[in-house]
Amino acid sequence: MIRYIFKRLLQMIPILIAVSIIVFFMVGLSPGDPAKIALGMNAKEETVAAFKAEYGLDQPLGMQYLNYMGGLLRGSLGKSYTTKQYVANMIAVRLMATVIIAFGSLILTYLIAIPLGVLLAVKQNSWFDNISRVLALMMSSMPSFWLGLLLILLFSVKLGLLPSNGFDTPAHWILPLCCSCFGSWGGSSRYIRNMVLETIRQDYIRMARAKGCPERVVLFRHALRNALMPLITSIGMNIGTFFGGSVILEQLFGINGMGKMTLDALRQKDVPTIMAGVLISTVLIAVGNLLADLCYGLVDPRIRSIYSHPRKRKLKKEVAVSGAN
């Protein structure tokens, strides 16, 4: 198992290198002079020249790439052209907010969607189920921008219950997280409902009932556990995107997050920040995939036996034999 993980982590390296080359050259070859953009349209020639010399922008693109990679290997993410700060510092300040939004959204989404999905499956075709179909469509169609404004208007301005911007205290997290999860609540709960329904049709569910298991056990230990396995894979694969940060949320709620940072960098051709944002995303996606694969193995014994060490299996047999006696 450890060897497998190690192998997967090693495989990430060529991927990161390829991504870094593609992005660096794509940004570098696209029109627009980072120095001019950073300094403003009316910057004087000498200013631009001095800026370029400072940041190594007067060298050929290939050389710039090597300089960047060299810096990376030495552990430096470089200095932003537009903010003049070390990119590592910029990320450090924004990371917490992005992590909270990413994980918060993830947890909040499934905290509501899983029980709701199970409920919808159990109450299939009831009026509740039918209304939820319409509601889910409405909820996932709402543009998050519009929804966010509405939430602020209602809860901050009219009712004065929650703060309208910022991210300092847990009270600040409520509106942005709800805004972020809103669409997923509709979509995910219907998805889970369908998966549970599919699982419930399986023979082993009927078997469990015929064994005399209470419905609660049938639902949770038998149906849900099997229904949720594909969900783990999809969460793992999407973790990278969760971390992309919702730029819209950040702009609306004045949250200092990585989404806005990367977007601004893209607009202004702030290469070091773009590279940092992209590479971090890539790493997170790769790690997310890896975690998903591992989790799946943890949860589904059919996959687990591919990974399990032969010695472990023998140990289990001994336990079994001694248990029987």
Partner 1 sequence: MKRTLAIISAFVIGLTLLAGCGQKAGAGEITVVLSEVGNNLDPSIANYTDTSSIMSHVYDNIINVDSKFELIAGAAASWEQPDSVTIELTMGEGFVFHNGEPMEIEDLEYALGRLENVPEMASTWGKIESLSSNGNVVTITLKEPDNSFLRGLSAIPVLDKSYCESAGEAYANTPIGTGPYKVAEYVPGERVVLQAWDEYPFEKAGIGKLTYKGISETAAKYMAVEAGDAQFSGISYSDYQRAQSNSAISTYEGPSTRTAFVCMNTSAAPFDNVNVRMAMALAYNKEGYMALSANNDFVIDSMFTPGTVYHNSSQYAINYDLDKARELLTAEGYDESNPLEFIVAGYSGDDPVMQAYQADLASIGVKVTLENYEFGTFLNLMMNQEYQMLTGSWSEVTGDPLSAAACYWTGSYGEMNIAFYDNPKCDELYETAKTSADEAEIIACCRELQDIAWQEVPLFPTYGRYADYAYDTALTGVDIHPSGIISFRAAKYSK
Partner 2 sequence: MENDRDKLLDVQDLTVRFYTDDGVVHAVNGVSLSLAEGETLGLVGETGAGKTTTALAILGLVPSPPGKTESSATIFDRQDLRLLKESEYRKVRGNKISMIFQDPMTSLNPTMTVTEQIAEAIRNHRNITRQEAKVEAVKMLETVRIPADRAFEYPHQFSGGMKQRVVIAIALACNPKLLIADEPTTALDVTIQAQVLELMKELKNKLNTAIVMITHDLGIVSEICDKVAIMYAGEIVESGSLEQIYDNPRHPYTNGLFGSLPDIEKDVEFLSSIEGMMPDPADLPVGCKFHPRCKYARPVCSEQIPNNNEIEPGHFARCLIYEGKLPGQEVKKYV
Binding site for partner 2 (CB under 8 A): 125, 202-204, 206-214, 221-222, 225-226, 229, 299-302, 305, 316-317, 319-321, 323-324
Binding of partner 1 at residue 85 (CB under 8 A)?
yes
Q: Confirm or reject binding of residue 29 to partner 1 (CB under 8 A).
A: no
Q: Minimum distance between the CB of residue 242 and partner 1, rounded to whole angstroms?
A: 21
Verify binding: residue 166, partner 1, rule CB under 8 A.
yes
Contact call for residue 61 and partner 1 (CB under 8 A): no
**Shortest CB 325 distance to partner 2, Å:** 8
Stretch that binds partner 1, among 81-89, 202-210, 282-290, 309-317 (CB under 8 A): 81-89
Instruction: Please identify which residue in 254, 299, 307, 308 interacts with partner 1, judged by CB under 8 A.
Output: 254
Please state the closest distance from residue 308 (CB atom) to partner 2, in A.
11
Q: Does residue 215 touch partner 1 according to CB under 8 A?
A: no
Spatial CA neighbour of 209 closest among 190, 196, 198, 223: 223
Q: Is 98 in the site for partner 1 (CB under 8 A)?
A: no
Q: In the bound complex, what is the minimum distance in angstroms from residue 236's beta carbon to partner 2?
A: 18
157 binds, among partner 1, partner 2, none (CB under 5 to 8 A by kind): partner 1
Q: Is 43 in the site for partner 1 (CB under 8 A)?
A: yes
> Taking the complex as a whole, how short is the minimal distance between the CB of residue 190 and partner 2, in angstroms?
20
Q: Give CA angle at 265 (13, 53), nearest 5°.
A: 90
Q: Does 14 bind partner 1 (CB under 8 A)?
A: no
Q: Which residues pair with 286 in a beta bridge?
A: none
Say if residues 21 and 278 touch (Cβ distance below 8 Å).
Answer: no
> Is the CB of residue 177 less than 8 Å from the CB of residue 101?
yes
CB under 5 to 8 A by kind: which of partner 2, partner 1, none does 36 bind? partner 1
Segment contacting partner 1 by CB under 8 A, of 118-126, 232-240, 260-268, 301-309 = 260-268
Gap between the Cα atoms of 136 and 120, Å rounded: 12
Does 163 participate in binding partner 1 (rule CB under 8 A)? yes
Verify binding: residue 33, partner 1, rule CB under 8 A: yes
Which parts of 111-140 interact with partner 1 (CB under 8 A)?
none
By the rule CB under 8 A, 152 interacts with partner 1? yes
CA atoms within 13 A on the CB side of 213: 17
Residue 88 partner contact from partner 1, partner 2, none using kind-dependent CB cut-offs of 5 to 8 Å: none
Q: Which residues bind partner 1 (CB under 8 A)?
A: 30-33, 36-37, 39-47, 49-51, 53-54, 80, 82-85, 89-90, 93-94, 149, 152-153, 156-157, 160, 163-167, 251-254, 256, 260-261, 267-269
